[in-house]
Each structure stands twice: as C-alpha cells, then as structure tokens.
Amino acid sequence: MSRALALVVSGALALAALAAWPLASAIAQDTLPPAPYAYTQLEDPALEAKANALMHTLRCLKCQSQSIADSDAPMAGDMRHQVRSRILAGDSPDEVRAWLIERYGDYVSYSPEVSQTTWPLFVVPVLLVLAALFVLLRRLGRGRSDKIVSESSLP
C-alpha cells in the first residue's frame, strides 16, 4: 500500500518537474522584459492590422517553422517590435519586408515569393493540372466514342 503511494507521489513529482522544466529553461534564457511592441498592439487599429498581416508572412529565425506572429521566442518578440515600430513610423509593409529580406535573404519570408529559385514551385502545379486535364479529356472523349461504337454494333 505504502509502496503504491510512493509510486504515485514520485510519479506526480516527475510530472511536476517535467511541467516546470520549460519554464525554468525560459527563465535561464533571459530575464529582461520583452520589447515594448513585442506583445502590445499599436493603438491605431488600421496600422495594427497592417503590422499583423505582415507579421504572419515573416519567419521566426529561432523557430523556423513558425511565423513571428505565432512564436513566443524572445527573438520573434523583438522582430514584432521592429515590425510594429517601423509601421508606426510610416514605413509600408513592403518596405519592412524588404528591410528584413535584405538582411536574411528569402528565408525570412514565410509566404513564398516568385523568384529565380522559387518559380518551379508555382509553375509545376499548373503544368500537372494541365496534364491531368489533358488526360481526363482524352479519356472522356474515348469513352463517348466507345459507347457510340458499342451502340451502333447492336443488332
């Protein structure tokens, strides 16, 4: 009985330690408060909407499978601060995006853009759909003529 209790207690402790672990490591990372505009929206709703739309198209550099709008990494917060403060200062979303691409290359763009290296991404699907349509139309056409043939061959 007491052994079972000890098992339960140690299990609970292990779970608690697991739950606390990411918290502890986050604290070990850095202790400064986030940048002013990391988690604070711009006061002007129109500007905030612009900044927010842009943030969804920029890749977090630390957590590369997330946009900076979705990430809680400190660096993503700092990038959101840059985006919001630049939009507030009157930059257009395209200018802010260009500023980042100048520094990190296409990689920082989370929405793929047509460029020298990415054009096959856009062309190949169109070609595949065209090829599929071609095959489909040919088969449909043949099906109809087969039918006519079989009907005409009826006695």
Partner 1 sequence: MSTAETRSGLRLWLWVPLALFAFFAGLAGYMLTQEKPEFVKSTMVGKPLPEFTLEPAFDGLPGASSSDFEGGKPRLLNIWASWCLPCIAEAPQLEALKEQGVEIIGIAIRDRPEDVARFLERHGNPYTRIGADAISAVQLELGSSGVPETFVIGADGTIRYQHIGDIRPEHIALLKAELEKAQ
Interface ranges with partner 1 (CB under 8 A): 28-32, 35-36, 61-62, 64, 74-75, 78-79, 81-82, 100-105, 107-108
**In this complex, which beta carbon is closest to partner 1, that of residue 15 or of residue 144?**
144
Residue 30 beta carbon to partner 1: minimum distance, rounded to whole angstroms: 4
**In this complex, which beta carbon is closest to partner 1, that of residue 74 or of residue 93?**
74
In total, the chain counts a number of residues equal to: 155
Distance CA 9, CA 15 (A): 10
Check residue 106 and report its DSSP letter: G
- Alpha-helical segments (H) within 89-118: 93-104
Three-state secondary-structure class, residue 71: coil
Distance CA 99, CA 130 (A): 38
Residue 53 beta carbon to partner 1: minimum distance, rounded to whole angstroms: 20
Residue 101 beta carbon to partner 1: minimum distance, rounded to whole angstroms: 8
Check residue 66 and report its DSSP letter: S
Q: Which of 97, 94, 106, 95 is nearest to 79 (CA)?
A: 97
**In this complex, which beta carbon is closest to partner 1, that of residue 12 or of residue 144?**
144
Residue 79 beta carbon to partner 1: minimum distance, rounded to whole angstroms: 7
**In this complex, which beta carbon is closest to partner 1, that of residue 9 or of residue 137?**
137
